[in-house]
Chain A
């Protein structure tokens, strides 16, 4: 390792830093050269990243002020698209479905991740196998998860209803029942993403000094007390982060809806992003879809800032 990493010391060549000139300030042409070198390194990635984010984001705002189907001459309509959003019953329904999914998914994924991390964070036999099985769904795509969901929750021959039948419980409609479809999608999202919250909590648990829990044990705390009063408060910043992250993911749900119900049955799983996708690429309302996207952006930003500020304040209050 050492031998390959360090080049053999060659006879000294004329290097700018070794020149016996006392002045430390580089000359103008050298500064130009340094600038060019620097930009040479960063320019390709910077151009791609900014060109595919800031530029289209600004363009999306211009589009949101237009009525345009992609072919005709765009018509400037000012803020009409945003006004239309306020009275759009379908959009309100989509927001309701998204909220339902968020309420189902976020608390469940945080609690499941916390529980699994606590269980996995110990030296027990088979812990490697448990970890592999629990993390494996993370690599499965939304397309594959969609097919699996449709199969497992099929009302006629699906495994889930079969288990219910064997246990003597009533059969359910699952994805075909407007009242249950979103629950099924939340369950399968949980299957696919539990690994993420678990990994984050595991890393956080291992940063907690062992002395803390040991002190609690010495003081006579039982297992539950030491977890609840010592470990859990240490995890608060991670919980805030995971909560925000999962909420943003939940608000942006699209893939799994597309690969299972396509918004059905009876529009019960039409989320905001699914609605946005439909207005843009089915109804070709590019302007209106862009306005909805900006609305979504604003909500996401508000949640992130709100939760961050609130948690900072409450943490400071708690410590002070």
Chain B
């Protein structure tokens, strides 16, 4: 039973980036700073501008010559944002959509991944191949028929239209299947011999071991569903069912010059993911690497 000591087998390791770089002979690496400092600064500037502008008094924004740092900081942009707009409602909508997406993804994709990896049933290979083949279908091909389909079902202009496309995904099924394939079969055989049903074995024995894969999947789903613009844009026209991304995109037309409010809305839409990224960077990088490795 020593196998259990390493719940994450070496064959399933999407990223080793956080680990020590390959040991190399000592050599001068100073040049890297000359590349990285300017690039990192350039990459940080949009964030700095976003936070600063959201705190700048409106009178200073359109001034010429413009200045990088405001003379005083104010929360006016945020006050206007929360007082005059539906941003709280939209944030709630997005939280709801992402929550449903993540929970549904974790449940359905791990079930399906386990089934395709471990269970024997007629049609297993054909079903999995068909799912894999759909990777080639671009989203753009699906926009019109999905819109018509949603309209027939009657979920246009409701949050359900933003949720349904994120209930499960090929990526999720594939990721979970790869993980379960890498687990030693003895684990479940022991449990089955002890009289556990397939379901109990999955729920009590297998799923607790799948935490690293589930974390990867949760991050992927959160990022995609939180930032999604295309589906809500197509399926939702009713402002009370807007998601956050759709709402702030709409501001651009409606409040073209109200920059402190626009940037405040940007901060509201972006800050949760930024914080999440900073604290769970390792898992994020694993997710990004796996997204690429699947190809």
Residues of A within 8 A of B (CB): 1-2, 4-7, 9-10, 12-15, 17-18, 34-42, 44-46, 48-50, 52-57, 59-60, 63, 70, 115-116, 119-124, 126-127, 129-144, 146-148, 150-152, 156-159, 162, 165, 191, 194-196, 199-200, 202-203, 205-206, 208-210, 213-214, 217, 223, 241-242, 244-245, 248, 252, 254-255, 258-259, 273, 276-277, 280-281, 286, 289-290, 293-294, 296-297, 300-301, 304
Asked if A42 contacts B112 (CB within 8 A), the reply is yes
- Chain B hits for A248, CB < 8 A: 138
Assuming the A-B contacts A34-B121, A42-B111, are A57 and B141 also in contact, with contact meaning beta carbons closer than 8 angstroms in the complex? yes
- Chain A hits for B10, CB < 8 A: none
Asked if A60 contacts B65 (CB within 8 A), the reply is no
Q: What are 8 of the A-B contact pairs (CB < 8 Å)?
A: A15-B192, A54-B134, A138-B288, A140-B227, A159-B45, A206-B19, A252-B140, A258-B233
Residues of chain B in range 192-238 having any CB-CB distance to chain A below 8 Å: 192-196, 198, 202, 204-205, 208-209, 223, 226-227, 229-230, 233-234
Q: Closest 6 CB pairs between A and B?
A: A38-B121, A41-B115, A141-B227, A45-B112, A56-B145, A42-B115
Assuming the A-B contacts A41-B112, A191-B43, A199-B17, are A146 and B49 also in contact, with contact meaning beta carbons closer than 8 angstroms in the complex? no
Assuming the A-B contacts A2-B1, A45-B109, are A7 and B134 also in contact, with contact meaning beta carbons closer than 8 angstroms in the complex? no
Asked if A141 contacts B269 (CB within 8 A), the reply is yes
- Chain A hits for B53, CB < 8 A: 151
Asked if B17 contacts A203 (CB within 8 A), the reply is yes
Asked if B62 contacts A156 (CB within 8 A), the reply is yes
Residue among A7, A245, A304 making CB contact with B292, cutoff 8 Å: A245
- Chain B hits for A202, CB < 8 A: 17
> Counting CB contacts under 8 A, is B254 at the interface?
no
Chain B, interface size category, equals 35 or more
Q: Which label, helix, strand, loop or mixed, suits the secondary structure of the A interface?
A: helix
Asked if B144 contacts A141 (CB within 8 A), the reply is no
Asked if A241 contacts B292 (CB within 8 A), the reply is yes
> Counting CB contacts under 8 A, is B245 at the interface?
yes
In the bound assembly, the distance between CA atoms of A206 and B21 in angstroms comes to 7
Residue among A12, A254, A290 making CB contact with B144, cutoff 8 Å: A290
Name the residue on B nearest A134 (C-beta): B43
